[in-house]
Structure 1
Amino acid sequence: MARSRARSPRRSKGDRGTSVLETSVVTILAAGIVIAVVQSPVGDYFHDSVREMVCVVDGPECGGETWTEVERPEPPEEYRFNLTGLEWTGEVTGTGKAVAAIEWALQHASMNTPYVWGANGPNAFDCSSFVQWAWRQAGVSLPRVTYQQQPALPAVPSIDQLQPGDLVFFNTNAPGPPPTHVGMYIGDGSFVHAANSRRGVVVDSLSGYYLSAYAGAGRPPQE
């Protein structure tokens, strides 16, 4: 006795056309959303959660190449409407080589030198290249990237023992470690840093957002 086979239902040509059309519409809409997000300021936040090292050009660091790091700190809420940072009216203090490093850094804060992710100076910096350049002016060589800079320096035991010229580290994207941002303490509870692409090089108070993100400090050689 021959067995009859149940045929699976087939879509009509009209149904198949509708399916293709729906898929195309969804694909176009998804692509449009991705493009809109990437081109908007929200696109910056995707980079905030990524930190990796890449060699980009020949240079004196890391065996003939220059290392850069993806590190763009989240803009703190209390500084969203204070993009230019604080006006530094204090004297440049410090001991030994720290004075030269601070003077150079404050000069760039006064010019509001741009922040560009991965930039190696001298016309634009990211946070780690900025402090590297500052201390280079004082004759001190520092590693290129944030997570290498912190272990390379003697740790400052506590925040109340900070001295002008110390590097201050922050976890801006996650609880850490390693740190994702760095600046240079200049005294009076303030520090100078290449903040982000919206603010450039500025002076900020080590309080509020930055105090909550503080992840320790290191002291470059002063003499």
Structure 2
Amino acid sequence: MRVLVPPGSLTLGGTIELDEEESHHLAVRRAHSDELVELLDGAGGVARGKARLRGRVWIVEVDAVELRPPLAPLTIAVGAGDRDHFGWLVEKAAELGVTTVVPLETERTQAVATRLRDRHVPKLRWAALQAIKQSGSAWAPAIEAPGTLERFLARAAGGARLLADVGGDDPPVRLDEGPAVVLIGPEGGFTNDERSLIDSAGYAAIALGRFTLRFETAAVAAAAAVAIARGRSAHG
């Protein structure tokens, strides 16, 4: 059974009082006193300890702590379309080891009435944490506030730079653990002017399948393709 705690709160021999949400989680799961639980702080910290009920709040006495190494950097930058679809994307990205999710404001996202906005980002960050509680990953992805494509491309980006495009080449067979960035357009894709900016920034087009994918499906396919390519490199 896993619970979430604030980053940096895990100390060997310490006692952590779980917040209301995590206490409720243990109650719903019918946890019993002295049950062993795993604690995740979303920033690499993993601990184990015994849970005990104190009044209506659960506490955990920590008897083992581990700081796991960071994941290989993988940024998925996606046109900030429908916020509910984006929420699903964030959950799957967390499960697949994406380290950063960047919602992009593009010409075509401006016309989406239900598009992701700044005020929705806290909910996405919560969703990312819930996803690692399910998957067991020690690291939650960073979820950035929506920003323009131009601002994103202006960043210094090393490593692999890939653009999801149904007309592109096959995804790389192997990738090392260095930084990787995958750009994914909104519904309708990037405009010609945006595509020119992307091409000038050195992004290589890759096809994630034979057909045009929704942005959230493309993000999952891209994360899986990178994970598989890195796995091949790691195993020779």
- TM over 0.5, shorter chain: no
Q: Which structure: larger Rg?
A: 1
When normalised by structure 1's length, the TM-score is 0.20
